[in-house]
Amino acid sequence: MDINQILDKVWELLTLYGLKVVAAIAIFVVGRWVAKVAAGIIRKMMTKADVDQTLQKFVANIAYIALMAFVVVAALNQLGIQTTSFIAILGAAGLAVGLALQGSLSNFAAGFLMILFRPIRVGDYIEGAGSAGTVEEISIFTTTLVTPDNKTVIIPNAAMTGDNIVNWTVKGTRRVDMVMGIGYDDDIDKAKQIMADVLARDSRILKDPAPQIAMVELADSSVNFVVRPWSKASDYWGVYMDTHEAIKKAFDAQGISIPFPQRDVHVYQHQTTQ
């Protein structure tokens, strides 16, 4: 076979398969672009419909993956690969991978249920799986929290749904629980009035439900009161810290003591006889 025959054969192969390769690449590139655009359109439509952000991202990701699977099959089909047998091989491989990744599949199922029933949403402050923080993202496999000191905590969804979840935000309001102590020699009614006045001056404290101030304990060195105002969930820590400071200053100004544990020690001297 001379050089001309070899070149003719190469050209024939390039003509036959080169166009198929180019077409397959074009199908993949265009299909990927279409999948991204379609996922973006779906997300915009859900945003206009005021759908939860977590559900928006989840549905958009699922749509993108489904479209990309279709694009890959179409590109392989263009190359002349029998996709039916290929899909069967993928199915068998998927079963093997699924058995090896049972934990990941359980996380996926947990994430789907969390997005479907929405016990938590992005922006909620929660406690779950031994961590507490604001929900930043609920993805297919994990939930991301941001703690008050700005640490990122990534929790597998199965661990999140497998434990108790405390959602501090969903109801919109929180009760601020505090304990204040006064001395046994102080006027109880006067102290209660001072604390009530402090709460009344704070506009962040809700009128309904009304704050509760009640004597709860005769402790070793103090008479203790529970002070329980209500506020918006977003105002909780501000109310908690400012109320402690305001009551301390008010007690000092009105002569109400805030006792601290103390112990009287009596020393007896015994004379010894020689």
CA dist 226 and 176 (Å) reads 10
89-114 pLDDT per residue, tens: 666 666 665 555 566 678 878 887 88
Structural domains counted in the chain: 3
Which residues is 135 bridged to in the sheet?
A: 145
Domain annotation covers residue 113: no
Domain annotation covers residue 81: yes
Helices 236-254, 188-201: inter-axial angle, 10-degree rounding: 140
> What residues have CB less than 8 Å from 232, skipping those under 6 apart?
172, 173, 174, 204, 206
> What residues have CB less than 8 Å from 1, skipping those under 6 apart?
none
Highest mean predicted confidence (pLDDT) among 10-19, 80-89, 167-176, 260-269? 167-176
C-alpha closest to that of 119 among 162, 165, 70, 71:
165
For residue 12, the enclosing domain spans 3-100
| Statement to judge: residues 201 and 215 lie in one domain | yes
Q: For residue 56, is pLDDT > 60?
A: yes
Domain annotation covers residue 226: yes
CATH of residue 41: 1.10.287.1260
Average pLDDT score, the chain: 83
| Statement to judge: residues 196 and 244 lie in one domain | yes
CA-based end-to-end distance of the chain: 135
Per-residue confidence at 14, pLDDT binned at 50, 70, 90?
A: low
pTM: 0.60
| Statement to judge: residues 90 and 12 lie in one domain | yes
| Statement to judge: residues 199 and 152 lie in one domain | no
